[in-house]
Amino acid sequence: MGRTAKRQSIHPARSTATWPRDFIWGISSSSFQIEGATREDGRGLSIWDTFCAAGRVANHDTGDIACDHYHRYAEDVALMKRLGVKAYRFSVAWPRLLPEGRGSANEAGLAFYDRLIDALLKARIEPWLCLYHWDLPQALDDLGGWTVRDAAGWFADYAMLVASRYGDRVKRFATFNEPSVFTLFGYGFGDSAPGISGPIMLRRAIHNVNLAHGAAVDVIGALVPDALIGAIHNYQPCLPATPADVEAAELFGAYWNSAFPEPQCLGTYPSRLAGVMEPYVQAGDLARICRPVDWFGLNHYSPIYAKANPDAPLGFTFGGAPADLSHTPMGWPIHPESFHDALVEVSARYRLPIYVLENGFGGDDKPDASGDIADTARIDYLKCYIEAMHEAIANGADVRGYFIWSLLDNFEWGSGYGTRFGLVYVDYPTQKRIPKASFNWYADLIKSARAVDGERSTVGDAFKPR
């Protein structure tokens, strides 16, 4: 598939298209972005609380209230039920369970996820639990956070607590969400929490997160023998912004797409990074990192355009996308062909069942005079991306599920509440939830896709477990 021109060769999603048998339609969120209650019931602080308090987020926004999901989770589960999703991917806030990151557990925090998980199961929605979505306990960051090797042990102990508490009801576990994003932005570029920049800290963080992943896979596997364990990677083709940026794009791509899945699934660092990672790799580390996983979580929004910049901490930065490529209001290029290519490539390379655990559209939705939110641009985006996924499946990609980011508008990291990704609009001053047009559209798609699945599943027949 071509990657440069603005093409609409991929047709909008035919909801009546056939999908693999048992294909999972889901929805995703993360703790810090929706929970709020950051100082309630004994929760400790995370690096994002600190980053927000330092005024580093647009509009000086913080996660203090967010979507108040901590108190309104029952209403949110009811919305998911109405949507018809089979699964909900959420993350657990490490500082809510272990306010100091290690040591004594906080029973009130543990009880919150008990309530959430029980409500999901009652609504017949499968909980997909991710251990880490960027909210490292501040107390651990004070000890060096991901830049120190001890972090792997802290994470394994936290995984043990989570698996032993929830493993009777939760069977889908992810270790990390988007390790490339939180290490690159937090320790490389330095423009997200904890705000450190430069190649040395980045490489240390990469290796320690990889070690933590391997240790957690072992711990969860031992405590929950029927668990299905994976990690969630943001996989986006990295393309040169200009012909002079080919090197920069390769290096950016190695950090973004390969620094985690390759050691975790293949047991090696990508050749582009092997030399620079060598000082951190001790004997036996790659075997510790490469533990058997059951699935590959893939997040994708857009291709990346890279630019060489010798003055930047890593020697590269984001570059501009071709002018003829349309983009979302937050400037992310729209190119469903890249999604297709990502799915086909990842399936061929790692030979694991893929679950798309994030895909979505960030906009600046507002209710119209009658209070409705007609987010047609989001629907158009989702249609084209879902169709691209359908084509990828037809072309051999083993994709078993698709989760939209996100149920609710929420705290979008450095952009604060200025960017809205939800299928449900959140009126932050009142916390009123208003389903957008895309909510009804997704509900219809799930319903019709299930109906077809019930009759026959031509695509599914082409799938044999590898």
Q: Which stretch binds ligand FCB (CB under 6 A): 70-78, 156-164, 173-181, 369-377?
A: 173-181
Distance in angstroms (rounded) separating the CA atoms of residues 330 and 311: 25
Which is the catalytic residue, given 35, 262, 337, 358? 358
DSSP track, 369-392: TTS----HHHHHHHHHHHHHHHHH
User: What is the smallest separation between the CB atom of 438 and ligand FCB, expressed in angstroms?
Assistant: 15
Active site residue 358: yes
Q: Which residue has the tokens 């070690």?
A: 211
Considering beta carbons, is residue 176 or 280 the nearer one to ligand FCB?
176
358 belongs to the binding site for ligand FCB (CB under 6 A): yes
Binding string, 18-47, against ligand FCB, x = CB under 6 A?
------------x--x--------------
Active site residue 337: no
Which is the catalytic residue, given 178, 387, 391, 412? 178
- Taking Cα atoms as reference points, which of 180, 179, 191, 198 lies closest to residue 58? 191
User: What is the smallest separation between the CB atom of 83 and ligand FCB, expressed in angstroms?
Assistant: 18
User: What is the smallest separation between the CB atom of 177 and ligand FCB, expressed in angstroms?
Assistant: 5
Binding to ligand FCB (CB under 6 A) within 274-313 occurs at 299
Among 15, 138, 177, 210, binds ligand FCB (CB under 6 A): 177
Apex 281 CA angle, 286 and 222, nearest 5: 40
Q: Which stretch binds ligand FCB (CB under 6 A): 146-154, 174-182, 235-243, 279-287?
A: 174-182
- Taking Cα atoms as reference points, which of 400, 401, 403 lies closest to residue 466? 400
Contact 170, 129 (CB under 8 A): yes
What is the number of the residue whose Cβ is closest to ligand FCB? 178
The residue count for binding ligand FCB (CB under 6 A) is 12
304-308 sheet: strands from edge to edge: 238-240, 304-308, 316-318
Taking CA atoms, 326 is separated from 7, 267, 303, in Å, by 10, 38, 12
**Element containing residue 251 per DSSP (H, E):** helix 246-253
328 belongs to the binding site for ligand FCB (CB under 6 A): no
Beta strands in 141-203 (DSSP E): 172-177
405 belongs to the binding site for ligand FCB (CB under 6 A): yes
413 belongs to the binding site for ligand FCB (CB under 6 A): yes
Q: Hey, which residues are catalytic here?
A: 178, 358
